[in-house]
Structure 1
Amino acid sequence: MPDLRTVLADYPHTAPLKNGDVVSSSVRLDFQTVKPVHKAFAPMVRDEAYDLSELAVVTALQAIAHGRPVVLLPVVVAARFQRACLIAHASRPVAPQELAGRRVGVRAYAQTTGMWVRAHLAEDFGLAPQDIHWITRDGAHVREYQDPPFVEHGIGDTALVDLLREGRIDATILGNDLPEGDEFVPVVPDAVARDTQWWQRSGFMPVNHMVVAGASVARRDPGAVREAYDLLRRADATVARPAGTPSPTLFGFERLRRPLEIIIDACLEQDLLPRRLDVDEVFAPARDVLGVEAG
């Protein structure tokens, strides 16, 4: 039985895979502990460090555009509403319309949450990415990508929330590390309502993380990758979710076509991709492995 070196964060829909409730007789997922999970992204796209890995969707698209050895599977394992991820200090609130020319922090310009927030700022308030002075700590996981000139690096090890406390930035984008309490306030005051309306129009929650297989294992043992895809679907099916609520997971080539088209458009508008990718091009390697009807 082949072992697949696997990195997936802890979610209700990955728990059955990690605790042994959902297993396969033909493949074993050998889970590697990487916390936070984004620390697995650069090793995956640069060195194919794992056989199966969660990967931010912007990183996955950049990897494909730059010919890195990953096969993007039609699996979304993490999605969330994004507008509330843009925060300011409560003592220095700022309205979205006031962000032009301001300093806004984000861990990396290529971070997927940042991509979504910029897309929403453009859609809701007419702000282009270059209207804002972006302050970042990290570069992209894909080494070949270079940030645009309106992005500033070199903030050192100071946490973004501390930069915000000190007034060195006017707002910041945070994801899973979004702080609780009343020290910080959302820049978009009606974020929940806007996110809900967006979901009702689009039919999906903004995609954060998908799953990729390494190109080597896809060539060497496509059957193992097919079985891993089936495991992911089976595990997700064990999670009960209320009808009519947005789901953080999504499976299938055709179900993901429109979400990826929207993401690719946003990436092009934000100088995140060197060229336009076609969804059929993006999924072609996975179709060869899974079959055209997967999902």
Structure 2
Amino acid sequence: MATTQTEAPTLRVNLAEYGVTKALRDGRVTSDLVNLDYCGPTPAHNGFKAMVRENAFDAGELAIVTFLQAKAYGKPYVLLPAPISGRFQHHCAGYNIDFGPLDPRNIEGKKVGVRTYTQTTALWIRGILRHEYGVDLDKVTWMTLGDGHLAEYCDPQNCQRLPAGSKIPQMMLTGELSAALLGEDMPKDPRVRTLVPDAQAAAKDWFAREGVVPINHMFVVHQDMSKRHPEIVRELYRMIVESRTLADNLPAVFPPLGLEANRKGIQLAIDWALDQKIIPHRLTVDELFDDVTGALV
């Protein structure tokens, strides 16, 4: 954080432009207390490793899974109750129907591709497969392209690394992988089906029962800033809220603002991360926040 005696401090921020952040990024939301230097890479997830390994940013978005791991391994960031992105994930596991129909339980004993084991989309869709369809995740071989964001973490034993340069969507289409966990990279191919039957209807039913929109990314700040400059943290939250109110394309169903409103969704992420061997021990929702960020409303 750079500052002088007369100027507002400038924070190094890793934040992409989404509907909820567009007014921040384009300058419609400003502050007299702080300046934001959007110096992170595009896409923003390419900066997550630098954030948790090198303290490369003062604030910004972070995948909820990466943050849970960062907290578990003692990294100096604290959560704001401000989801930046989130969506239903039921449609994010696909397969090629040319090789025959595939029910969720049928992936046991097979190879399934995923960019990294700790990818947030993968956490959610694996949890859905386990808890909604009874899949034994330990019986699946997860074929990955890379390691996670935390240097301290090692993938479970049922993970294998794909050769460098492998293309998971193409390997799913050719049958080298029985299925793949993919977000926006799902091939637009008529042969592709969702592993979850009628994924849109399943997501609607799940939301009616659980009332949770799975969180992808949330806003975080360096813990030193929260301790030394709580007024700046409160100002950041105000700016995020204002930017969100100015969004003209916010999805009809989106993760809410506030700690209590997100408690169930964050708790679910913790439970599933522990179950899937992504975090080494249980965390509580409240320890992810401090006295400043937990009180933001």
Identify the TM-score tier after normalising by the shorter chain: over 0.9
How many residue pairs end up in the alignment? 289
Q: Equivalent residue for 2:259?
A: 253
Matched residue type, 1:211 = F
Given that 2:213 and 2:265 are in contact with CA atoms closer than 8 Å, whether structure 1 keeps it comes out as no
Q: Equivalent residue for 2:4?
A: none
Q: Equivalent residue for 2:28?
A: 21
Q: Does 1:175 align with 2:159?
A: no
Q: What is the TM-score normalised by the length of structure 1?
A: 0.92
Which sections of structure 1, spanning at least 5 residues, go unmatched? Answer: none
Q: Does 1:184 align with 2:192?
A: yes
1:23 and 1:177 map into 2 onto residues whose CA distance is: 34
Matched residue type, 2:295 = E
* Deviation (angstroms), 1:13: 1.2
* Deviation (angstroms), 1:256: 1.6
**SS of the counterpart of 1:78?**
strand
Matched residue type, 2:35 = R
Q: What is the TM-score normalised by the length of structure 2?
A: 0.92
**SS of the counterpart of 1:155?**
coil
Matched residue type, 1:200 = A
Given that 1:73 and 1:211 are in contact with CA atoms closer than 8 Å, whether structure 2 keeps it comes out as yes
**SS of the counterpart of 1:104?**
strand
Q: Deviations over 1:138-194 (max 9, x none)?
A: 111011111110111143211111222332211101113233242422122311011
Q: What CA RMSD, in Å, does the superposition of the two structures yield over aligned residues? A: 1.8
Structural mapping, 1:122-271, within 5 Å: 122-239=130-247, 245-247=252-254, 249-271=255-277
CA 1:121–1:88: 2 relative to 1, 3 Å: same
1:155 and 1:235 map into 2 onto residues whose CA distance is: 42
**SS of the counterpart of 1:180?**
coil
- Percent identity between matched residues is 36
**SS of the counterpart of 1:91?**
helix
Q: Equivalent residue for 1:273?
A: 279
1:33 and 1:41 map into 2 onto residues whose CA distance is: 9
Q: Equivalent residue for 2:62?
A: 55
Q: Deviations over 1:97-135 (max 9, x none)?
A: 211111000011111110111110012211122021110
* Deviation (angstroms), 1:225: 2.0
Structural mapping, 1:97-116, within 5 Å: 97-116=105-124
1:176 and 1:199 map into 2 onto residues whose CA distance is: 21
Q: Deviations over 1:272-293 (max 9, x none)?
A: 111110111122x2xx234x53
**SS of the counterpart of 1:138?**
coil
Given that 1:90 and 1:182 are in contact with CA atoms closer than 8 Å, whether structure 2 keeps it comes out as no
* Deviation (angstroms), 1:55: 0.7
Given that 1:72 and 1:211 are in contact with CA atoms closer than 8 Å, whether structure 2 keeps it comes out as yes
